[in-house]
């Protein structure tokens, strides 16, 4: 049983509201215990963050970058232990947890390398200069599905830019956030510059965003919660970066390499049981290749080995909790009732834990809920299209606009699709995770603002224009 603690003003401590157990999604048994923060704890976080705001902002950027580099070095030594913790808490496979931690190291190192360049003044001409100041105190909220890399995406640029940060990490998966904060503390981040809390999310967000001292909120999670945070932030005009849900389409044209496409979709879709906002979920295939595509996809998805993440032979673990399989069941039944064909899976595995097998639905009509509701699980909905115009129309029907994927060898089709697909990104003939040097953003119900890359770094800075007279 792992026992975690809050990190407030440089000290690891218990929460005033007691503790909560974390249940393994593979065994349904308690594997860890987290503290629950109260208003007193949050008040101390805020006081420390405000106290250290100006001293940290004035700390030389080279020193801040050095702390990020040391953090990555220390975190690298923690990977074996943290991997085991993440697998137990989340159900991730060993390779998924290890790969995610590697990406978090890359994120700290990239921001450390960029810090000095992105913090220096920009001279427009002899009379005008742009200064980039830290925004101040940041409230950061991270999700349970990728707690290592998303925590790194928020903390690394914020700290490098000179902000102080209060991190509310996911209660379901605390290990990664704890390991990162431990590494920052060991690397020499000053007391009060960063805090870590767990507890009741609505209470924490209401209290932090109710303070005018908090100048920015960065959140990754559901669209529903993101909208609630935006309302709270509006009262104090706090800047928001909101990375919310997704319902990513894949357009497969008749000239695509079907075998390569199917393999790419399966490898990315079923990572962490499909619990990713960037995961493909609506597959539209040109009619002439539709049957071949569906046959190959079902065959490959059926070979995926499902089980506890601790097993090195397992390729897909459980969903995070009982609500996941229940959602898969509801979406599957609704699609079949509306005329879809259940080609694979569709029923929970008869074993302890929250396991749902790879599921494929074919000939899914647009009226099915899975075509408009984010599944966030290991289920794929497939439908045919006739023309490029129809494919674009189907892809753009969703209120989400995060990621989309296209498979075609035609450069003309690629240009047409890129111009007309809505959303924050279009990937052509590839599906892969987002690197730290590029920004991600969404449109519509997928949120707004940038995370990652230079644009994500700039989100933690306020711009100041200096005008000078020529005399």
User: Both 76 and 159 in a single domain?
Assistant: yes
102-116 mean pLDDT: 98
Catalytically active residues are: 243, 277
- Give the per-residue pLDDT at 471: 67
Residue showing tokens 């792992």: 2
- The predicted structure's pLDDT at residue 469: 85
Number of CB atoms found within 10 A of residue 26's CB: 25
Domain range holding 381?
248-428
Whether residues 235 and 255 fall in one domain: no
CB 165 within 8 A of CB 49: yes
pLDDT at 316: 97
Residue 437 lies in a domain: no
Rounded mean pLDDT, 176-200: 98
> Is residue 235 included in any domain, yes or no?
yes
256 and 320 co-located in one domain: yes
Q: 82 with 112, same domain?
A: yes
Is there a domain that residue 126 lies in? yes
**Residue 103 forms part of a structural domain:** yes
Instruction: Give per-residue pLDDT as tens, 226-237.
Output: 999 999 999 999
Taking the C-alpha atoms of residue 130 and residue 120, their distance in angstroms, rounded to an integer, is 9
Question: Does the residue 38 lie in any domain?
Answer: yes
Mean pLDDT, the chain, rounded, equals 96
On whether both 23 and 125 belong to a single domain, the answer is: yes
pTM > 0.85: yes or no: yes
Q: What phi and psi values does residue 124 have, to the nearest 5 degrees?
A: -75, -45
Spatial contact of 84 and 96, defined as CB atoms under 8 Å apart? no
Residue closest to 205 by CA, chosen among 154, 149, 159, 140: 140
* CATH number of the domain within which 94 lies: 3.40.605.10
Residue 119 has pLDDT above 80, yes or no: yes
Structure token digits, residue 114: 């960029």
What is the distance between the alpha carbons of residues 332 and 314, in angstroms, rounded to a whole number?
Answer: 24
pLDDT of residue 36: 98
Q: Are residues 450 and 316 in the same domain?
A: no
Based on the domain organization, do 219 and 291 belong to the same domain? Answer: no
pLDDT of the residue at 384: 98
**Residue with tokens 């805090």, as numbered in its chain:** 195
Percentage of the chain with pLDDT > 90? 98
- Tell me, yes or no, whether 435 lies in a domain: no
Residue with tokens 């440089």: 10
Strands (E), 169-288: 194-197, 214-220, 239-243, 248-252, 280-286
Q: What pLDDT, on a 0 to 100 scale, did the predictor assign at position 470?
A: 72
Query: Does 434 map to a domain?
Result: no
Q: Are 268 and 122 in a shared domain? A: no
Examine the domain organization and report whether 253 and 235 are in the same domain: no
- Give the pLDDT score at 1: 86
Average pLDDT score over residue span 79-98? 96
Could you tell me the CATH number of the domain that includes residue 357?
3.40.309.10
Hey, what are 250's tokens? 């894949």
Q: Do 400 and 463 share a domain, yes or no?
A: no
How does pLDDT run across 435-448, given as a tens digit for each residue? 999 999 999 999 99
Q: Is residue 408 part of a domain?
A: yes
- H-type helices in 360-437, by residue range? 388-395, 411-420
Residues 135 and 225 in one domain: yes
Number of domains in the chain: 2
pLDDT digits (tens, 9 = 90+) for 19-75: 999 999 999 999 999 999 999 999 999 999 999 999 999 999 999 999 999 999 999
* Whether residue 239 is found in the same domain as residue 265: no
- The stretch 285-304 carries a mean pLDDT of 98
Tally the C-alpha atoms within 13 A of residue 289's C-alpha that lie toward its C-beta.
Answer: 21
């Amino acid at each position: 049983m792992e026992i975690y603690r809050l990190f407030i003003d440089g000290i690891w401590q218990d929460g005033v509201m007691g503790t909560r157990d974390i249940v393994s999604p593979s065994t349904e048994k308690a594997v860890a215990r987290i503290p629950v923060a109260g208003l007193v704890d949050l008040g101390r976080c805020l006081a420390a963050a405000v106290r250290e705001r100006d001293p940290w902002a004035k700390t030389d950027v080279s020193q801040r970058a050095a702390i990020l580099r040391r953090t990555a070095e220390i975190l690298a030594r923690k990977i074996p232990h943290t991997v085991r913790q993440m697998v137990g808490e989340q159900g991730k496979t060993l390779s998924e947890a290890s790969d995610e931690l590697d990406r978090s190291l890359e994120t700290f190192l990239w921001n450390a390398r960029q810090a000095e360049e992105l913090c220096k003044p920009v001279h427009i001409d002899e009379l005008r200069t742009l200064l980039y100041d830290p925004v101040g105190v940041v409230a950061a909220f991270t999700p349970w599905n990728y707690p290592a890399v998303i925590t790194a995406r928020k903390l690394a640029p914020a700290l490098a830019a000179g902000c102080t940060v209060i991190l509310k990490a996911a209660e379901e998966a605390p290990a990664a956030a704890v390991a990162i904060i431990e590494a920052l503390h060991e690397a020499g981040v000053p007391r009060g510059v960063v805090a870590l809390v767990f507890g009741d999310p609505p209470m924490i967000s209401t209290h932090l965003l109710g303070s005018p001292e908090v100048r920015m909120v960065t959140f990754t999670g559901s669209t529903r919660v993101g909208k609630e945070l935006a309302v709270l932030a509006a009262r104090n005009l706090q800047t928001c970066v909101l990375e919310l849900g997704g319902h990513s389409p894949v357009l497969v044209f008749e000239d695509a390499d079907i075998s390569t496409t199917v393999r790419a979709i399966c490898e990315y879709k079923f990572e962490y049981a499909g619990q990713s906002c960037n995961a493909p979920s609506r597959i539209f295939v040109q009619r002439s290749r539709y049957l071949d595509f569906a046959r190959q996809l079902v065959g490959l998805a059926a070979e995926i080995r499902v089980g506890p993440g601790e097993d090195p032979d397992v390729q897909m673990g459980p969903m995070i909790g009982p609500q996941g399989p229940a959602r898969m069941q509801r979406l599957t039944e609704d699609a079949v009732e509306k005329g879809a064909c259940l080609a694979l899976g569709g029923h929970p595995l008869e074993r302890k834990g929250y396991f749902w097998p790879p599921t494929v639905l074919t000939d899914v009509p647009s009226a099915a809920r899975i075509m408009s509701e984010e599944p966030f699980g290991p289920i794929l909905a497939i439908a045919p299209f006739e023309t490029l115009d129809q494919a674009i129309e189907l892809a753009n029907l969703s209120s989400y606009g995060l990621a989309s994927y296209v498979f075609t060898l035609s450069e003309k089709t690629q240009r047409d699709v890129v111009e007309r697909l809505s959303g924050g990104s279009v990937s052509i003939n590839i599906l892969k995770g987002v690197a730290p040097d590029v920004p991600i953003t969404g449109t519509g119900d997928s949120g707004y603002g940038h995370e990652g890359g230079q644009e994500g770094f700039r989100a933690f800075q306020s711009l100041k224009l200096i005008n000078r007279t020529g005399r």
